[in-house]
Structure 1
Amino acid sequence: MAEQRIEIVRYTDDLTGDELAEDDHERIRFTVDGKARVIDLSAENAQAFRDDLARWMDASRPDGRKRATTSRPKRDTATIRAWAQANGYDVSDRGRIPAHVEEAFDSAQ
């Protein structure tokens, strides 16, 4: 009989610590002063975040600079691949590592 693996993903609101249903979960990525951030929030807290930010967005203006292409920071892909393979993820020896695998790796750290 083949070994089966069941993976359970739990979402929590980074602001309150409350566990969230998958359909009541939003991941918001933003950058302030060149520092990229990410936060997981309930739909209600995500809306509150946007409402709070709207005041600052309304008072701001575009900076006029060309946007740099967004690139992810260099990752130790060999370590991520080894971890993924040891934990039952199907990843190739070359090419891009799927985002869900990188997220699982980050969560496990």
Structure 2
Amino acid sequence: MAQKVLVEMIDDLDGSEAGQTVPFGLDGVQYEIDLSDENAAAMREELATFIAAARRTGGRKTTVRASAAPTAEERERSKAIRTWALDNNWAIAERGRIPREVIAAYEESQKPAPKARKRTAKKRAAK
């Protein structure tokens, strides 16, 4: 049986279909937002006055490109993390990016517990 999986990128502002991921920074923090082409143009237009008056401090100018669709494995991992987070009282949205702190806590919870060390007969005899 053949299957066709369709992955859509959703605009983080209005829920419409997004055409691109727009990276930006403010107060030393880097962000990314998925936007439709119309909302991305509006964002750039709103920031144009501030950018024109600002000093560039480094970095390279990059081209905006649509982000790659997540693989089935990545979607399953995200689903597992969200389920774990909800079961462990983490506040998390149903969709969108998963906070780094939640991912780190999930990964820590998946590590195997350290095995108890067995005492050998030689060590017991020494006591």
Which structure has the larger Rg over C-alpha atoms?
A: 2
With the length of structure 1 as denominator, give the TM-score of the two structures. Answer: 0.50
Higher relative contact order (CA 8 A, sep 6+): 2
Higher strand share: 1
With the length of structure 2 as denominator, give the TM-score of the two structures. Answer: 0.43
